Amino acid sequence: MNKILSFGLLLTLSLAVQIVSATELKRSLSIENAQVYIITPKNGETVPTTFKVVFGLSGMGISPAGFNKKFTGHHHLLIDGKTPDLLKPLGGEVKHFGGGQTEAFVTLPKGKHTLSLILGDYLHRPHNPAVVSEEIIVHVK
Ligand SMILES: [Cu+2]
């Protein structure tokens, strides 16, 4: 009885491992040392209510959403949010730049705000490993 139980447990465990690996495989791979970063504004900068954000990417390329090209993706801007689950496709918690844009005008209310970028693949999924920028702070006046 014990043997049957442990065999069943082993089978369940190996199945779980296989499912996790299959999910991992589906995520697009990033290039080691690829970096995404905000070029402007600078961390700590004071900006007007509408300001331009310029996105930087090194080591990988830009492709529009829906376009499955290896080692590319599109930018996602996270404003005042906590980094989402990077194992799931990005949704409404970020602004998608699925056209392949590398800059955007953003309008925010006066006050302190945080900005960061997450690169996502053709299906809006963070890469494996995820390419995420450092968070910057802007003061909107
Ligand atoms: Cu997206």
Nearest to 63 by CA among 89, 16, 27, 99: 99
What is the pLDDT confidence band of residue 26, given thresholds at 50, 70 and 90?
Answer: confident
- CA of 76 relative to ligand 1 center, distance in Å: 6
Report whether 90 contacts 124 (CB < 8 A): yes
pLDDT per residue as tens digits for the range 55-97 = 999 999 999 999 999 999 999 999 999 999 999 999 999 999 9
Residue 89, token pair as written in the block: 């496709």
Spatial neighbors of 113 by CB under 8 A, at least 6 apart, are: 79, 80, 137, 138, 140
Residue 132's CATH number: 2.60.40.10
**Ligand 1 centre distance from Cα of residue 96 (Å):** 4
Are 120 and 76 in contact by the 8 Å Cβ rule? The answer is yes
Region of poorest pLDDT, from 3-12, 29-38, 109-118? 3-12
Q: How far is the CA of 118 from the centre of ligand 1 (A)?
A: 9
Nearest 10 degrees: CA dihedral of 96, 98, 99, 101? 50
Task: Please check the confidence at residue 15 and state whether its pLDDT lies above 80.
Answer: no
Domain count, the chain: 1
Spatial CB neighbours of 1, under 8 Å, sequence gap ≥ 6? none
- The whole domain housing 79 covers 2-140
Q: Quote the pTM value.
A: 0.82
